């Protein structure tokens, strides 16, 4: 069971990565983009806090997104240290396309499972003890030991 889960998880994430590649987007960039869309104007620090991504890593992620014109670092009126992150129209379009791919990915993963079976599978997976340690929307692969401990 453990080995199977590990194998499947690796395959799934690899698939998603190649699926996103045509957009020039990496999975981690996708996660950040999605979160910026949800919380426009939040700082990089807040973003890192929410996604448990260490600050030094966030820099290069946002750099890439900004270089491609998907995200803007605006000035924060109340704190001149912080940058307020905003989605550009291009960013919004990119996110929409990525979300469409993600839905496609989801269908591909589940294959010919009926909706009932799909729910059953989800239910069983969520009952695994490890599922309790997962934070919603946070991928542990991006998490630093330190951030995870907090």
Partner DNA sequence: CTGAATGGTTACATTATGAAACGATATATA
Partner DNA sequence: TATATATCGTTTCATAATGTAACCATTCAG
38 binds, among its own copies, DNA, none (CB under 5 to 8 A by kind): none
117 binds, among its own copies, DNA, none (CB under 5 to 8 A by kind): its own copies
Which 76-95 positions form the footprint of DNA (CB under 7 A)? 79-83
145 binds DNA (CB under 7 A): yes
Q: Closest Cα to residue 32, out of 9, 15, 16, 49?
A: 49
45 binds DNA (CB under 7 A): yes
Query: Cα separation of 90 and 37, whole Å?
Result: 12
59 binds DNA (CB under 7 A): yes
Choice between 39 and 134, CB closer to its own copies: 134
Place of tokens 């294959």: 111
The separation between the first and the last C-alpha atoms of the chain, rounded to the nearest angstrom, is 29
57 binds DNA (CB under 7 A): yes
29 binds DNA (CB under 7 A): no
Q: Which residues are within 8 A (CB) of 95 and not within 5 positions of it... i.e. 6 or more apart?
A: 30, 33, 34, 37, 87
Taking the complex as a whole, the smallest distance from the CB of residue 121 to its own copies amounts, in Å, to 4
User: Which residues are at the interface with its own copies (CB under 8 A)?
Assistant: 1-16, 102, 105-106, 108-113, 117-118, 120-122, 124-131, 133-134, 139-141
Q: Closest Cα to residue 6, out of 130, 122, 146?
A: 130
Taking the complex as a whole, the smallest distance from the CB of residue 65 to DNA amounts, in Å, to 11
Dihedral over alpha carbons 30, 100, 37, 35 (to 10 degrees): -40
């Amino acid at each position: 069971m453990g080995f199977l889960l590990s194998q499947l998880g690796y395959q799934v994430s690899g698939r998603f990565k190649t699926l996103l590649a045509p957009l020039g987007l990496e999975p981690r960039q996708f996660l950040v983009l999605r979160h910026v869309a949800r919380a426009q104007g939040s700082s990089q620090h807040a973003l890192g806090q929410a996604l448990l991504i260490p600050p030094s890593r966030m820099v290069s992620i946002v750099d890439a997104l900004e270089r491609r014109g998907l995200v803007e670092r605006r000035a924060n009126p109340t704190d001149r240290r912080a940058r307020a992150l905003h989605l550009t129209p291009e960013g919004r379009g990119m996110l929409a396309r990525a979300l469409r791919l993600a839905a496609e990915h989801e269908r591909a993963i589940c294959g010919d499972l009926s909706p009932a079976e799909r729910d059953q599978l989800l239910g069983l997976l969520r009952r695994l003890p490890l599922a309790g340690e997962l934070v919603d929307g946070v991928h542990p692969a991006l998490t630093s030991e330190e951030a995870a401990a907090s």
